[in-house]
Amino acid sequence: MIVAVCSLSGAPGVTSLAVALAACWPASPVTVPVIVEADASGGDIAAWHGLEGAPRTGLVALAAASRTPALVPREETAQAPLDVLSGEEQANPAPARFAMEVPGGLRVVAAPGDPLEAGHAVAVLAQNPALLASGRATVVDVGRAVPGSAGAALLRHADLVLVVTAPGGIGQAARLRACAPVLASLREDGTRVGLVVTGNCPHPDAEVSRIAADLPVWARIPHDPVGAALVRGEHRPPVRWRDRFAAWSAHRRDPDCLEWMPLIKAAKGLAELCDDFSGVGLDTLGPELAKACAA
């Protein structure tokens, strides 16, 4: 399953959301998420965590491997039950073989910071995307998806596309309206597309959806500098009184709880929604609920 996270303009926190989404994914032996940082403008995650790319890891290595037919898995491998996959396929689905582990255990295929190098790797990967589909849950950080770009081409190969937007600003709202036909064409091709509204947007979901060709709003991500710092590997204690109280109250119940942070709480709900869309576990639901999740 490929979940692509992108924006249409500006920088409304695509990478932060992608990291939070993967960190909050309902992981199991079947679905262990991997982040692929396919941002043609250059990556941030390795710099956030002070990581140096190991040999044969990262976006450039993944793109190079995608051009080798022997390394591209059979189409049915991605859909095969876990018990029929080989031990190596279970332990190391293709994107994970090119990933580094960041503090906290998250696996990331990091993009180089150089835009020229990153852009070339994204272009190669967009032409040979089969390796992305071989993972059970691959979160692809596309960054800004400019129509006609390699990053936008990657969206055509995703199962779900999360469009991060801040329509509270006039410029973002105008860009969302202008790009709505392109996003609607993704939906017509069978890709699920939803909006993720960030910041303080005064407009209701129905109004935002209306200017975006009736694409649904799947989540709202409040402004959360503490949560954003956490996904960057930084520690920033809460400053506002209500945040400090929420942190204290959550830690009393569970010292490891992070859901008092608005970003983490919203990302967890969004991750559970995406996991439901994948169809895993639908057989255990009632027929009406299963039909609603599959719609």
Structure confidence at residue 249 as a pLDDT band (50, 70, 90): low
Q: State which H helix or E strand residue 45 sits in.
A: helix 45-49
What local confidence, expressed as pLDDT, does residue 277 receive? 82
Tell me the residue length of the chain: 295
Name the nearest CA neighbour of 118 among 36, 42, 62, 5.
42
pLDDT in tens, 8-22: 876 668 999 999 999
DSSP assigned state of 197: E
**Over residues 51-70, mean pLDDT:** 79
CA angle centred on 130, ends 126 and 132, rounded to 5°: 80
Name the nearest CA neighbour of 212 among 242, 248, 186.
186
pLDDT in tens, 270-283: 999 988 887 543 33
Cα–Cα distance for residue pair 282/177, rounded to 1 Å: 34
pLDDT in tens, 119-161: 999 999 999 888 887 667 899 999 998 888 888 899 989 999 9
